[in-house]
Structure 1
Amino acid sequence: MKKLIIYGSGYGTTRTYASRFSEMTGIPVMNYEDMQSLSDYGLIIHFGGLFAGGVKGLRKTVKAMNDDTALIIVTVGLADVNDKENTDNIKKSISKQVPEKILKNTQVFHLRGGIDYSKLNFKHKTMMTLLYRKAKSLPEEKKTAEITAMIETFGKKVNFINFESLSPIMDAVQ
């Protein structure tokens, strides 16, 4: 069965995970912006950064696949991947991008990424500043793990990359 790793990365963290996973497995890796049809593949592993409530590149990947292609989704974001509320929110977002007939047979994994505010473009810096100001004013009981992580890391360079967290994905691929 032909396998392919697709990634959607904004600033490099997701690409770093996807590239390392490719090295570990020997599966070719490609940016979602460069892909065409995925009809020849039996398994797609989509690594996607979490941006504005979605998984980067996932919608395009799903549209390029056959309905019977196996899919593994790997999300990469700032918030704690062990926080159920956070992962539930991610799953809700994925369900808006992936049709139920595909999603029901899809495995989903979550990885922690990083951010370097000095590398954000103007649009993203502005958006993050507005989100930060809004988040800071929320009552403590309304601050989710994702919001707390964003507040704690605002304006900084943080890196939570952990290549050991790729092991469960490796098990799922074999």
Structure 2
Amino acid sequence: MGSVILYGSQYGSARRYAEAFSRMTGFPAASFGERADLSACERVIYFGGLYAGGVKGLRQTAAALPPDTAMVIVTVGLADVSDPENIRSIRRSVRRQVPERVWDRAILFHLRGGIDYSRLSLRHRAMMALLYRQVSRLPAEKQTAETRGILETYGKAVDFFDSGALLPILEAVR
């Protein structure tokens, strides 16, 4: 089997991107928990939601990757991916989750997803409330693009889904 698309998504943004990419490429897509055997895959394209400093399902997927299988990692989160500081932070997070053998060969992309506070679990709502209180106390000069994004979107429903953002990934896998 050639390429497969896997995703780890809590609230749907990573799944939406994965399914849109599946329609563009014809590669099959599934949740990371539904696909245990990756031995026949030449390449795994992984779309993972960013949650509390980690990428949902990435650690498990990378650990299950056969040695010669290539990996494209696509993070999906609320942070502005045009900000270099956000990208550095996301890459540090990804680096902590994948073995060296995967990291050395992986191609990384970052997309913006969304958030709808009305759909968050009680636990996630509480975590976001604590985070909001913490960052709202920061002086303006100490705020980062990521913390400003939290302040701007807190309590709202925002959706940054952009199927056009998949085109560079499409070029990379052709």
Q: Residue 65 of structure 1: SS of its match in structure 2? A: coil
User: What SS does the corresponding residue of 2:6 show, helix, strand or coil?
Assistant: strand
Between stretches 98-107 and 153-162, larger displacement belongs to 98-107
Deviation, 1:13, is: 0.9
Deviations 1:93-138 (A, max 9, x none): 1110011221111100000110000000100000000000001001
| Contact 2:63 2:99 survives alignment (8 Å) | no
SS of structure 2 residue aligned to 1:67: coil
**Counterparts of 2:3 and 2:60, CA distance in 1:** 17
Uncovered stretches (5+) of structure 1, i.e. residues with no partner: none
Displacement, 1:59? 0.5
Per-residue CA deviations over 1:62-116 (Å, capped at 9, x if unaligned) read 1111122100000001111110000000010111001122111110000011000
> Structure 1 counterpart of 2:15, which letter?
R
1:62 has 2:62 as partner: yes
Partner of 1:128: 128
Q: How far off is 1:155 after superposition?
A: 0.3
Counterpart of 1:171, as a letter, is E
Q: Which residue of 2 aligns with 1:142?
A: 142
Shift of 1:29: 0.2
CA RMSD of aligned residues (A): 0.9
Aligned partner of residue 63 in structure 2, secondary structure:
helix
Superposition map of 1:21-36 within 5 A: 21-36=21-36
Distance 2:72 2:141 in 1: 34
After superposition, residues 43-54 of structure 1 pair within 5 angstroms as 43-54=43-54
Moved more, 157-166 or 32-41: 32-41
Output the TM-score relative to the length of structure 2: 0.97
Superposition deviation, residue 142 in structure 1:
2.1
SS in 1 for 2:38: coil
Structure 2 residue runs without a partner (length 5+): none
Q: Check the 8 A contact 2:8/2:57 in 1, yes or no.
A: yes
Aligned-residue offset at 1:170: 0.2
Name the aligned partner's letter for residue 135 of structure 2.
A
Length, aligned pairs only: 174
- Corresponding residue number in structure 2 for 1:41: 41
Normalised TM-score (structure 1) = 0.97
Separation (CA, whole Å) in 2 of partners of 1:103 and 1:56: 17
Counterpart residue type for residue 14 of structure 1: A
